Structure 1
Amino acid sequence: MAVCARLCGVGQSRRCRRRQRNNQQDQGSDSDMDEEEEEQIVGQRLGDAGGSSSSGGPERGAATAGPSDAGGEYGSSGGHVNRGGFLDRRSTGPPHPQSLAELPPELLVEIFSLLPGTVLPNVALVCKKFRQILNTETIWRRRCMEEFGMKEDLRKMEAGGVSSQDLYVKRVNPRVKSGRFMKLLPDYEHMDYRDVYTHLLHPYRHILGLWQPDIGPYGGLLNVVVDGLFIIGWMYLPPHDPRVEDPMRRRPLFRIHMWESKKATVECMYGHKGPHKGDIQTVKKDEFSTKCNQTDHHRMPGGRQEEFRTWLEEEWGRTLEEIFHEHMQELILMKFIYTSQYDNCLTYRRIYLPPAMPSDLLQPGLFKGTYGSHGLEIVMLSFHGTSARATKLTGDPNVPAGQLTLDVDLSRPVVLPELEQQRNIDELSRLVLGVHEEVQREVEQQANGTPATVRRPAEGACGGAGGAEEVVAGDAACSDSCHSGNSSSNNPPEALPFVLPFGVMARNEVYPRTCRKCFYGTGLIAGHGFTSPERTPGLFVLFDEDRFGFIWLDLKSFSLYSRLTDHLPHAHAPNMERFEAMLRNMQSWTS
């Protein structure tokens, strides 16, 4: 025990470090190891002392240590008593930690802040020290910021995107005749980031992202985001027809917030009477539903007529007299009657943004486009090998949401003729229909099992006919300048003049007068109720990174599409396989 006291410096006590390190070994092995370690330490000290002079001082005798060395080291200041009872100038700092629990608290806070919030409750079960450190606000604040995008201070937070009418209400105070405004927000001074993470953000993390509401053929686009201390479901509405390049409009459908400590509250935002009680239910994976518990808040004093006029102004930006003048009353009234049935309960299915690849013609994503008398609709542009596809997120009674509205073959470029010839619809039809007939022949040959014949690019493509080399069907039918991956290079293709042919109708007369490339494609048309669907040939026109168009030859109409530039977090597909499976499910929902 004397050896043990000399090694650890505390003597015979219950906290002897020597005993703690060897509590699972018997007493005989302890004594043997003590002697061996003491001889090893003493030998090392004597070797070190041979090359250095002693500092002077009272000599201290030891059974195995050199007197002069021991006295010199023991008498120096600023040293550390090592396990042999000597002062070691080289080890003046604290001993190296042997486990995670021996680290300083500030280092543990930094380490725990890097862990996902889902594993922190398990860390708290390790020991009392970890549990106490996990009460630090810094850890949970960092988790809220990195996982959910909260960038504001909890004590100074303002709920962005919510009007003051929703946040404040005038309450009459009997003692103050003039009244006062009281916030419709909880007392955040008594909350902490751990409560917000544990009872608000983490339980509802599965509903963050993009969703498509099940509203029959009309569909929609819902974006659930963390907005301040709220989780808000924003319904995206296209701009008023035909202003396709205007920003998207948003309307809140529901919100979730911490009204009381350790309790989240769901409120329905539909209607014109302010927030009221609601509920959210998770049906299954990638699907949830909302329910309103106070549907009387959706009704207006003037009855259905007032509700229709208000909806018409918000949805279409028109009055009742204007839609009768434009002969749109049938389509608009049908949509109002159909969508108003879903004001108390809605089911949403998750959708993903398409993953981007270096070979894509342009950045995939969401676009808003013109669809004649149906107004503006939202489509999702994605790339699949040598084809570009646009899928409807919002639809109409003819072609519902979820259907493939455009299918563009990027291996079949078409170069437009001179500007004067572009005005002739017959010349454009001859170019596009020539490619269409060639595609039909190749499909028939593949169906019959005969080998595909070689083909040439469309007349005028890649510098004109006759000068182009023959290309085997299925390969890229153009030179490097027409390859779909060239948009990612630093030198974009030269802009070419573009004009719509005479006789082609366009809802928006303000369209780009230059384009980069043109490709053959097909568009989906159908009768009312999605009857007799048919893919008809057309021309895909790429204007720039944020705009493209499509000329429907059979309909003699032009659709202009503009990119949706809103920031959409938690919306990107994890991989291409998951995205393609989502597209197949979308088509099955509305088929």
Structure 2
Amino acid sequence: MAVCARLCGVGQAGGCRRRAPVEEEEEEEVRAAQEAPRSLLQLPPEILVEIFSCLPGTQLPLLALVCRKFRQILSTDTIWRRRCRTEYGVHENLRKMEVTGVSCREVYVKLLHQYRDILGLWQPDLGPYGGLLNVVVDGLFIIGWMYLPPHDPHVDEPMRLKPVFRIHLMEKKTATVECMYGPKGPHNGQIQMVKKDEFCTKCLQTDYHRMSGGRQEEFRTWLRDDLGRTLDDIFHEHMQELILMKFIYICQYDNCLTYRRIYHPPSRPDDLVKPGFFKGTYGSHGLEIVMLSFHGMTAKATKITGDPNVPAGQPTLEVDLTRPMRLPSIEQLRNFSELSRLVLDIRDLISREQRLAGGVEDAGSSSRAEPAQAPSLVASAEESAANGPDASENGEQQPQDLQQFVLPEEVMARNGEYPRSCRVCFYGTGLIAGHGFSSPERTPGLFILFDDNRFGFIWLELKSFSLYSRMTDKFQNSQPPAPEAFDEMLRAMQLWTT
């Protein structure tokens, strides 16, 4: 007001002939409020289309019940095109659907929304063999891709994908399910949700699976394409396995097949590496898929695909992250007896600590000792110096945080192309069993973390080495709703195949 008085030449008592800016703003706000629409119904249609396009598709049917205008606007394909892209990642040109007379709304309602519950990762009920199925929106289709490991022993090669079924709206205004197995092309199939997180598929034209050479040719083709093996390979290794595989093969494609949902393991900032799915070598059983997950100070590798000895769903490896091991020199590491001694010493130490914790006195000690503290994950400078310079066999310098690695001469490996350095090693146990999962037991071994995408395990009792390589596929709709849901899934998986 003082500034206003100087400009107008009058004081406060004489009044001010200039209107205050605040009063002008208030009048403009009142006038704008009077002119603004008092409800959504007064907004232009193009504004309503933009607003409705931002709402979840599941809420739009309720919005259509409000009034006739809303119902008319919700018939605009622009709204449903955006929902298809935003919620389900459909990046195809949906305008070409107009050629077939199918609208984006029908794609959303009759295809994407109707089958939304089967999107994600699943494990088929194939006895001990299991498997990994990824159901995704692929263009204008929903496709179930079965993941097959690379041919043994090439663990670093990408996974092989095989379509099991597909769903589309290309020809009809109702979703069409097609079975993709067999040499004669897609044919009629059926999908049914059995219960939450479980569905089944059924082929309605199994004659499309038949080959001119009969069952024997079908089985040989399955062995070659799906497993990368020949009939002679299987026959010479496991006759009983051959019979079981043939039984499962027939049931897999000619009868109803049940799938149960599995989740991608959750990740935490303090995990040793990013959890996920890996493919690895399993002796005479070829390559199998495992899922690496972390549970406090324990890491687990759960079998997604299995074999007649240890079925899918079982924790094939358990790693004690409180027991890191510093490898000896290369010369000592070549000696299996030296490596075995180091691993078994840790096993005995754990056994003594468990007895002490249970109140049982160790026969070799006169007083109760404190449990040994786990060493640091990073070796000290003294340890590194004691193990010699960080140099590879050909004289190349290695980073200080890496340890030299070589397999002991007595250890069998199906793939000789393993890394020659590793980040850290831990004590762990592996699950072994007889045929039919008889007499299962955990045997000690050495877990080797090579890098972010590869790890290995030396089975002491079997004198064999398994190498694992990460699956780099992007899995959508696979995250567990809560950590408890993932743990519950792991417990359920062990029951599915036992």
TM-score where L is the length of structure 2: 0.86
User: 2:378, 2:43 → 1: CA distance?
Assistant: 69
Match of 2:162 among 221, 237, 251: 251
SS in 1 for 2:169: strand
What CA RMSD, in Å, does the superposition of the two structures yield over aligned residues? 2.7
In structure 2, the residue matched to 1:25 is none
Match of 1:236 among 138, 141, 147: 147
SS in 2 for 1:109: helix
User: 2:199, 2:29 → 1: CA distance?
Assistant: 66
The reply to whether residue 495 of structure 1 matches residue 402 of structure 2 is yes
The reply to whether residue 336 of structure 1 matches residue 243 of structure 2 is no
Match of 2:65 among 121, 125, 130: 125
Residue type of the partner of 2:458? I
In structure 1, the residue matched to 2:278 is 367
The reply to whether residue 519 of structure 1 matches residue 430 of structure 2 is no
Would you say the 8 A contact 2:377–2:424 is kept in 1? Answer: no
User: 1:586, 1:525 → 2: CA distance?
Assistant: 18
User: 2:141, 2:453 → 1: CA distance?
Assistant: 31
SS in 2 for 1:373: helix
The reply to whether residue 554 of structure 1 matches residue 461 of structure 2 is yes
1:328 offset after TM fit, Å? 5.5
Match of 1:147 among 87, 91, 103: 87
Match of 2:379 among 462, 466, 470: 462
1:332 offset after TM fit, Å? 4.3
In structure 1, the residue matched to 2:216 is 305
User: 2:96, 2:416 → 1: CA distance?
Assistant: 47
User: 1:564, 1:460 → 2: CA distance?
Assistant: 26
Would you say the 8 A contact 1:328–1:373 is kept in 2? Answer: no
Match of 1:444 among 337, 355, 380: 355
1:260 offset after TM fit, Å? 4.0
In structure 2, the residue matched to 1:107 is 47
SS in 1 for 2:114: coil
Distance 1:243 1:120, change over 3 A: same
User: 2:344, 2:137 → 1: CA distance?
Assistant: 49
Would you say the 8 A contact 1:459–1:465 is kept in 2? Answer: no
The reply to whether residue 416 of structure 1 matches residue 327 of structure 2 is yes
Would you say the 8 A contact 2:151–2:287 is kept in 1? Answer: yes
Would you say the 8 A contact 2:335–2:409 is kept in 1? Answer: yes
Unpaired runs of at least 5, structure 1: 1-48, 53-82, 158-186, 468-491
Unpaired runs of at least 5, structure 2: 1-15, 20-26, 362-367, 385-398
Would you say the 8 A contact 1:155–1:189 is kept in 2? Answer: no
In structure 1, the residue matched to 2:443 is 536
Larger radius of gyration: 1
User: 1:89, 1:278 → 2: CA distance?
Assistant: 63
Q: Which has the higher contact order (CA 8 A, sep 6+)?
A: 2
1:493 offset after TM fit, Å? 7.2
Residue type of the partner of 2:195? K
1:100 offset after TM fit, Å? 2.4
In structure 1, the residue matched to 2:452 is 545
User: 1:453, 1:383 → 2: CA distance?
Assistant: 27
Distance 1:386 1:465, change over 3 A: farther
Could you list the per-position Cα deviations for residues 360-389 of structure 1 after superposition, in whole angstroms to 9, with x for gaps in the alignment? 000000000110011111010001111111
Distance 1:92 1:273, change over 3 A: same
Could you list the per-position Cα deviations for residues 44-74 of structure 1 after superposition, in whole angstroms to 9, with x for gaps in the alignment? xxxxx9759xxxxxxxxxxxxxxxxxxxxxx
SS in 2 for 1:339: helix
Would you say the 8 A contact 1:457–1:465 is kept in 2? Answer: no
Could you list the per-position Cα deviations for residues 225-275 of structure 1 after superposition, in whole angstroms to 9, with x for gaps in the alignment? 111111111111111111111111111111111144431111111111111
Distance 1:357 1:188, change over 3 A: farther
Matches for 1:160-175 after TM superposition, within 5 Å: none
Matches for 1:19-168 after TM superposition, within 5 Å: 95-156=35-96
SS in 1 for 2:347: helix
Distance 1:402 1:321, change over 3 A: closer
Match of 1:566 among 451, 464, 473: 473
In structure 1, the residue matched to 2:134 is 223
Would you say the 8 A contact 2:219–2:249 is kept in 1? Answer: no
Would you say the 8 A contact 2:237–2:284 is kept in 1? Answer: no
Identity %: 63
Residue type of the partner of 2:436? G
Could you list the per-position Cα deviations for residues 519-539 of structure 1 after superposition, in whole angstroms to 9, with x for gaps in the alignment? 111110001110110011111
Would you say the 8 A contact 2:129–2:307 is kept in 1? Answer: yes
Residue type of the partner of 2:111? L
Would you say the 8 A contact 1:154–1:188 is kept in 2? Answer: no
Residue type of the partner of 1:581? E
User: 1:114, 1:509 → 2: CA distance?
Assistant: 54
Distance 1:457 1:269, change over 3 A: same
In structure 2, the residue matched to 1:380 is 291
Distance 1:115 1:90, change over 3 A: closer
- The range that moved more, 352-361 or 306-315, is 306-315
Distance 1:225 1:532, change over 3 A: same
- The range that moved more, 146-155 or 359-368, is 146-155
Match of 1:453 among 370, 376, 382: 370
TM-score where L is the length of structure 1: 0.72
1:276 offset after TM fit, Å? 1.1
User: 1:384, 1:437 → 2: CA distance?
Assistant: 23
In structure 2, the residue matched to 1:265 is 176
- The range that moved more, 308-317 or 445-454, is 445-454
In structure 1, the residue matched to 2:124 is 213
1:278 offset after TM fit, Å? 0.9
SS in 2 for 1:454: coil
Distance 1:90 1:493, change over 3 A: farther
User: 2:404, 2:454 → 1: CA distance?
Assistant: 15
In structure 2, the residue matched to 1:580 is 487
Could you list the per-position Cα deviations for residues 383-432 of structure 1 after superposition, in whole angstroms to 9, with x for gaps in the alignment? 11111111011001110000011110111100101111110111111111
Residue type of the partner of 1:241? D
Matches for 1:344-363 after TM superposition, within 5 Å: 344-363=255-274
Distance 1:452 1:194, change over 3 A: farther
1:97 offset after TM fit, Å? 2.2
User: 1:201, 1:331 → 2: CA distance?
Assistant: 40
Would you say the 8 A contact 2:378–2:401 is kept in 1? Answer: no
Would you say the 8 A contact 2:166–2:177 is kept in 1? Answer: yes
Would you say the 8 A contact 1:434–1:458 is kept in 2? Answer: no
User: 2:269, 2:400 → 1: CA distance?
Assistant: 16
1:453 offset after TM fit, Å? 2.4
Pairs aligned (count) = 455
